[in-house]
Amino acid sequence: MKRRDKSNPREGREQSQRQLKMGEQIRHVLSEAGLREDLRDLTGQAISLTFTEVRCSADFRLAKAFYVPLGPVSQQDCEFALKAALPSLQAAVAKKSTSKFTPKLTFVYDTSFDEADHLRDVLSSLPKT
């Protein structure tokens, strides 16, 4: 039996309703702010992102935002744009947040769509019986 880390009692468990609600609220704020903010890549070209999910820690001090670029944009360009816009995105979340603490944002490239495409390709390559 795997031992759980005592420092994080909810690790490995589903998120609570409060965490899900807060994550959805942050996702909406990030989406709105992403439209207003001018996210730019290394060359100065404007890029568009969509935030697919936000997961909050149990104490609401950390929030992990998963994103996917819209269009042919590299992951490196997305990371650069998000890093440059982090202070304004963090401020937007702080302004709209109703919690005691404003969660520290981290951004993670969402690979679930790539994995789904790969799985679809594998399944379609199987011989039909």
Full DSSP string of the chain:
-PPPPTT-TTTTSPPPHHHHHHHHHHHHHHHHHHHHS--B-TTS-B-EEEEEEEEE-TTSSEEEEEEEEESS--HHHHHHHHHHHHHHHHHHHHHH--SSSPPEEEEEE--HHHHHHHHHHHHHHSPP-
At residue 95's C-alpha, the angle toward residues 30 and 92, to 5°, is 30
Domain harbouring 46, CATH code: 3.30.300.20
Domain-located, residue 39: yes
Helices 17-36 and 75-96, interaxial angle, to 10°? Answer: 110
Structurally, how many domains does the chain consist of?
A: 1
Q: Which of 73, 26, 66, 29 is nearest to 50 (CA)?
A: 66
Range of the domain at 75: 17-125
Mean pLDDT, consecutive 10-residue stretches, the chain (129 aa), reads 48 79 92 80 81 91 92 88 91 86 92 82 83
What does pTM read for this prediction?
0.78
Has residue 2 been placed in a domain? no
Tell the residue number behind the tokens 């890549």, with chain if given.
Answer: 41
